[in-house]
Structure 1
Amino acid sequence: MIKRFQLDRGGLLPTAGLDAQVLLFCAPDSAERDVLLNDFKLDEHALASALDPDEVSRIEFHPDNLFLIWKRPESCSGGASLAFEVSSCGLLFSPQRLLVIAHDDSQLNGLGARQPLHSPLDVLLDLLANNLHHYLGHLKVIKLIARELQQRFNESMENRHLIQMFNLSESLIYYINAIHSNGAVLSRLRNHAEKAQFSAEAIGLIDDLIIENNQCYKQAEIYSTVFSGLIDARGNLMNNNTNSLLRKLTLINVVFLPLNLIASIGGMSEFSMMTAGTPWWIAYPLFLAAMLLGAGGMLLGLRRLAAGKGA
């Protein structure tokens, strides 16, 4: 699907003209891919990279345009996984036109709310700033979810809460990689802005994006470190609770083992039959003495075996 927009009165207005200043290629089909390849001279590798969610952010400089691969955050998948994903989009920029290649049409939502848009460069910088603010918003959501999971884990100690914390920690790793690679793109764009003699206002906006991206990166890094510590602490706490439960079960077994032993010895009809000619007050003490000797021999053998392994 192709959406066309014209810049008018500081915003984006839908238009049907072929000379639109901003075009959005949303999940392009084969015919729309041919338009990108033939009319806009985009090579197949660049097109495939724009739609590849695992592609790393980068920027390519051409005589007439710039091509950016930008990592953007996806909405939370919800459900039991609580995973935050990142995806890629392609941005083909020239002073007269901006092409956006993405899997959905949410890339241009909310543009123009912070500052008026008068040129494709304004749209590009506002789009990058919008994605960066989405990262910051998602980090706040992740922090709130982590607190709620911590409370639930303290109440129930269920494995699913620990798994959700693992998923959030994994999402933060993806966010850190995406934000770091976006920062490299912004730095190269800043250098190009000086050579291409962008306006002072545009260069100032790029500088602001670099600062905010670095802050976002540091924040995601801190959250990831805290999450790793929390997961280790929660895992140790779960192990301690399991050990405490096993200790209680062992105490119960220790209490009932002598009772089971006495009941077993007292109910041995075969032993009573074999010792019918011997008084019980002689046969049973001898049997207990043999059991103690056997237990002592086993204990001595286990100690020697443990000493041999330790040496």
Structure 2
Amino acid sequence: MIKSFQLAHGALIPVERIDADVMLFSNPDVAERDLLRSDFKLDDHALASALDPDEVSRIEFHPENLFLIWKRPESYSGAESLAFEVSSFGLLFSKSRLLVIATDDSQLSGLGDRQPLHTPLDVLLDMLFNNLHHYLDHLKVIKMVARELQKKFNASMENQHLIQMFNLSESLIYYINAIHSNGAVLTRLRNHAEKEHFGAEAIALIDDLIIENNQCSKQAEIYSRVFSGLIDARGNLMNNSMNNLLRKLTLINVVFLPLNLIASVGGMSEFSMMTSGVPWWIAYPLFLVGMLMVGGLMVVVLKRLTRGSTSMHGPH
């Protein structure tokens, strides 16, 4: 699908033209791809890169235009997996025209709210600002989701919560890689702007983009380190809880093992033979009392053994 816009009165005005100031190619079909190749001299590699969600950010300089691949955050769906994805889109920029090639038509929404748009360069920079703020908004959401997960994890240590924390940590790794690669593109764009004598206002906007991108990158790295520490701590806590549970079950098994042996003997005819001279209503209660005493003795011995092993392995 093709959407065309003309720049007028500091805003994007929709028009029905194929030579407009700004054109959006949203998930282009075969005919639209042929138009990009023939009229705008876009080669197959650049076209495939613009529509590849895993393409790395880069910028290519040509005599008449520049081609830019930019990493953007995908819209968060709020699914149970809590995964934040990134994808790519392409920009073909010249002084008189800007082509946006993407898999959807969301890239031009919300432009012009920050500053008036008079040239294709204004649209390009405003679009990059919007995507950068999209990253920042997602980092805020990740922080809030992480707090909710911590509360749920403290209430019940289920594997689902830990998996969700892993997904958030993985998303942050993708964000960090995308923001770093975008930063390299901005640095090269800044050098190109100075070389091509862009306006002072445009160069200042690129400088602001570089600063905000660096801040966004540092924020994502901090969140990633915090998440790694939280995941390690939660994993150790779950392992410790499991070890304590297994230790208790082992103690119970050790206590009841001799009792099962004694009960097995007591359930046979030998016990009746050994206590033939004692009434059963005296022999069997005494037998139960003896079993309880043996069990209590085993508990006391095992507690002392576990305390001794703990003190031996503790800090000196």
Which TM-score band (shorter chain)?
Answer: 0.7 to 0.9
Gaps of 5+ in 1: 281-311
Aligned to 1:39: 39
Distance 2:226 2:170 in 1: 13
Q: Aligned equivalents of 1:15 and 1:76: distance in 2?
A: 31
The structural deviation recorded for 1:259 is: 1.7
Query: What is the percentage of aligned positions where both structures have the same residue?
Result: 80
Write out aligned runs for 1:26-175 (5 A).
Answer: 26-175=26-175
Letter aligned with residue 153 of structure 2:
F
Q: Which amino acid aligns with 2:147?
A: R
- Asked if 1:6 corresponds to 2:6, the answer is yes
Output one character per residue of 1:161-209: Cα deviation in whole Å (capped at 9) or x when no partner.
0000000000000000000000000000000001111000000000000
Q: Secondary structure at the match of 2:142?
A: helix
The alpha-carbon deviation at position 265 of structure 1 amounts to 2.2
Match of 2:174, SS state, is helix
Q: 1:268 to 1:23 in 2, by over 3 A?
A: same
**1:234 aligns to 2:228 (yes or no):** no
| Letter matched to residue 168 of structure 1 | L
Q: CA deviation at 1:279?
A: 11
Q: Distance in 1 between matches of 2:268 and 2:98?
A: 92
TM-score, reference length from structure 2: 0.84
1:219-278 deviations in Å (ceiling 9; x for gaps): 000100110000000000001111121122223223322221101123355xx5xxx9x9
| Pair 144,279 (structure 1): closer, same or farther in 2 beyond 3 Å | closer
Q: Report SS of the residue matched to 1:18.
A: coil
Measure the CA separation in 1 of the matches of 2:183 and 2:169.
21
Equivalence for 1:290? none
* SS at 1:39 equivalent: helix
Cα deviation 1:78-123 (Å, max 9, x = unaligned): 2221100000000000000000000111101110000000000000
Aligned to 2:282: none
Question: 1:297 corresponds to which residue?
Answer: none
Local SS of the residue matching 2:40: coil
> In the alignment, what sits opposite 2:297?
none
Task: Give TM-score scaled by structure 1 length.
Answer: 0.86
Per the alignment, residue 303 of structure 2 pairs with none
